[in-house]
């Protein structure tokens, strides 16, 4: 089963410096039918104005993944970490017992990103942060694991949960297949381009809530960039 969630149906708010769309209930947006998807709790589609960002604030016991689509985001946290994550790359923050962080757009133009929160399987551990480049050429025509809670997922950034984040870039007419498993939940969003997911059409930034699909085949209607969370 694949439920299309059109971009236009998402909740959200425009704060001037931040134009945010929420795939799930978040902040002042509440929809009891869209609280979470398995252990996936938040998927925000954020546009952050140049020279602005999220001031220091705390988190605990949450796996927070940032997938940068355009521009770059600069991270600072209470552990002393500082880093800049560019478009196509990923950062992961395991909040653990508690961490304060700030995320700023220090670029001359707007930064757009997906902010994804997944409930952890392991709680009460030390907080951590990491970032990694993932060249889009390496995922051309195929899904590549960017963040994972599973052993054996190679160079993926580690997360403390029963989930993984994967992504692919497809040329128009190309297809890529991902073995989800019938007992898993998938949530897929095309960052760019229109696609068909097992025959269901999605436009850019639409969401697809997927259940009872052992395999997902994504075919690009036009050039596309796809992000998928495989959730428990």
Q: What is the pLDDT of residues 165-178, one digit of tens each?
A: 999 999 999 999 99
pTM recorded for the entire structure: 0.96
Please, which pLDDT band fits residue 154 given cuts at 50, 70 and 90? confident
Do strands 195-197 and 144-148 pair parallel, antiparallel, or not at all (unpaired)? unpaired
pLDDT at 188: 98
pLDDT at 110: 98
Please determine, for residue 89, whether its predicted confidence score (pLDDT) is greater than 90.
yes
Interacting residues of 110 by C-beta distance below 8 A, sequence separation 6+: 47, 48, 49, 50, 70, 71
pLDDT band at 205, cuts 50/70/90?
Answer: very high
Sequence length of the chain is 232
Cα dihedral 179, 181, 182, 183, rounded to 10, equals -150
Q: Rounded mean pLDDT of the chain?
A: 97
Q: d(Cα 225, Cα 169) in Å, to the nearest integer?
A: 4
Per-residue confidence (pLDDT) for residue 137, from 0 to 100 = 79
pLDDT mean over 199-218: 98
Q: Is the pLDDT of residue 135 over 90?
A: no
Q: What is the pLDDT of residue 11?
A: 97
pLDDT tier at 138, thresholds 50, 70, 90: confident
Average pLDDT over residues 203-223: 98
Share of the chain above pLDDT 70, in %: 100
Among 2, 29, 1, which Cα is nearest to 202's? 2
Residue 143 has pLDDT above 90, yes or no: yes
**Distance from C-alpha of 190 to C-alpha of 225, rounded to nearest angstrom:** 6
Give 218's pLDDT tier (boundaries 50, 70, 90).
very high
C-alpha–C-alpha distance, residues 58 and 133, integer Å:
26
* pLDDT for 169: 96
Residue 192 contacts residue 145 (beta carbons within 8 Å): no
């Amino acid at each position: 089963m694949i439920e299309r969630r059109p971009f236009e149906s998402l909740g959200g708010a425009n704060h001037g410096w931040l134009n945010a769309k929420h795939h799930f209930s978040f902040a002042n947006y509440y929809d009891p039918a869209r609280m979470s998807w398995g252990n996936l709790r938040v998927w925000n589609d954020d546009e952050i104005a140049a020279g602005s960002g999220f001031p220091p604030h705390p988190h605990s016991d949450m796996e927070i993944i940032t997938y940068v689509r355009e521009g770059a985001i600069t991270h600072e946290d209470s552990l002393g970490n500082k880093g800049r994550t560019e478009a196509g790359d990923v950062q992961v923050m395991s909040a653990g017992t508690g961490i304060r962080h700030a995320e700023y757009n220090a670029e001359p133009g707007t930064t757009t990103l997906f902010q994804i929160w997944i409930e952890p399987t392991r709680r009460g551990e030390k907080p951590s942060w990491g970032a990694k480049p993932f060249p889009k050429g390496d995922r051309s025509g195929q899904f590549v694991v960017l963040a994972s809670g599973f052993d054996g997922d190679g160079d993926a950034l580690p997360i403390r949960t029963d989930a993984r984040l994967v992504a692919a870039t497809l040329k128009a007419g190309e297809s890529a297949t991902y073995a989800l498993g019938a007992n898993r939940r998938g949530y897929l969003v095309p960052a760019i381009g229109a696609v068909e997911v097992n025959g269901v059409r999605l436009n850019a930034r639409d969401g697809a809530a997927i259940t009872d699909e052992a395999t997902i085949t994504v075919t690009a209607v036009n050039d596309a960039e796809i992000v998928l969370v495989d959730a428990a």
